[in-house]
Amino acid sequence: MVRRPSLCSTIPSAGFISDTKRNMGSLDATRAELGLVVLYLNKAEARDKICRAIQYGSKFISNGQPGTAQDVDKSTTLARKVFRLLKWVNDLHALISPPAKGTPLTLVLLGKSKNALLSTFLFLDQFVWLGRTGIIKNKEATDRVARISMYCWMASSACAGLVELGELKRLSRSMRKLAKELRGTDKYENEQYQNKMKQSDERLLALVKAAMDVVVAIGLLQLAPKKVTPRVTGAFGFITSLISCYQQLPSRAPVAKAKV
C-alpha cells in the first residue's frame, strides 16, 4: 500500500524559508555592490586614474631602467592622453564661472589660477600626444611643449594645495563657532557638525594629494634628480593615483534610521 505524503512534509520548514531569505538578501547586496562597481567604471575619470596607478606603479618598479616595466609606463602614459582630449574645456568653464558667494578674494584668485593653469596643461597635452604618436613630426618642439605643460601642471597643483589650505582654515573657524553654539550638547551627534567634519577630511586628503603631485611634477621635470628619483616619483604618483581613485568612488545611499 502506497503512503501519501503528509501535509506537514510538503510544507517548507522555517529553517528553509530563513535560509532562502538570507540567500536572497545576500544576492541583493551583491547586486548592489556590482552596481556601484559598474557606476564607477562608467566614469572616464575613474578609468583614467586606474591607468595612472598602473603608469606610476610601473615607473616605481622600473626605476628609470629599460625593461618591461618601463615599456608599460611609456605605453600607459601615451594611452592616458586619449582620455584627456578636450578635457581642458572643463577647467575653462570653471575659470569663467562665478565663484561661490562669501569666498575670500585670495582664494578666488588662487582657484582661478589653478583652473587657468590646469586648462593650459590639458590643452598643450593634446599637442604632446600628437607629437608622441608621430602625427606631428617635430621631436624638439614636442619635448619643449611637454616641459611647458608639465610646469603648468606643477603650478596648478601648488595653487590647488593653497586653496585647500585656505578652505581648511575657513572650515576650522566655522567648526569652532558651531561648537560654541552647541555647548552643552554632543556636537558629534549634530548633523551640521558631522557634515563639516566630513568636508574637513575630504579637503585634508585633497591637500595631501596636491602636495604630493608637486613632488611628482618635480620628478618628471627632473628638477632634483638626486632626491626625487624615478622610484620616488613612481611611489608618490602611485599614492596620489589611489587617492584619486578613492575620490571618484560613488557615494552610497544613506541608511535610513529605524523609527522607534
pLDDT tens digits in sequence order for the chain, 260 residues long: 555 555 455 555 555 555 565 666 677 778 878 888 888 888 888 899 999 999 999 999 999 899 999 999 999 999 899 888 889 999 999 999 999 888 999 999 999 999 999 999 999 999 999 999 989 889 999 999 999 999 999 999 999 999 999 999 999 999 999 888 888 788 888 889 899 999 999 999 999 999 999 999 999 999 999 999 999 999 999 999 999 999 998 776 554 444 43
Report how many domains make up the chain.
Answer: 1
Does residue 74 fall inside a structural domain? yes
Domain housing 50:
45-247
State how far the Cα of 247 lies from the Cα of 245, in Å rounded to an integer: 5
Does residue 31 fall inside a structural domain? no
Q: Which cell numbers hold the place of 34?
A: 556590482
State how far the Cα of 120 lies from the Cα of 89, in Å rounded to an integer: 10
Give the three-class secondary structure for 254: coil
pTM: 0.82
State how far the Cα of 215 lies from the Cα of 211, in Å rounded to an integer: 7
Q: How far is CA 143 from the centre of its chain?
A: 28
Does residue 8 fall inside a structural domain? no
Does residue 30 fall inside a structural domain? no
Does residue 152 fall inside a structural domain? yes
Does residue 161 fall inside a structural domain? yes
Q: What is the pLDDT of residue 136?
A: 87
Does residue 158 fall inside a structural domain? yes
Would you give the DSSP letter of residue 202?
A: H
Tell which residue, 203, 211, 201, 260, has the closest CA to residue 239: 211
State how far the Cα of 145 lies from the Cα of 139, in Å rounded to an integer: 10
Does residue 39 fall inside a structural domain? no
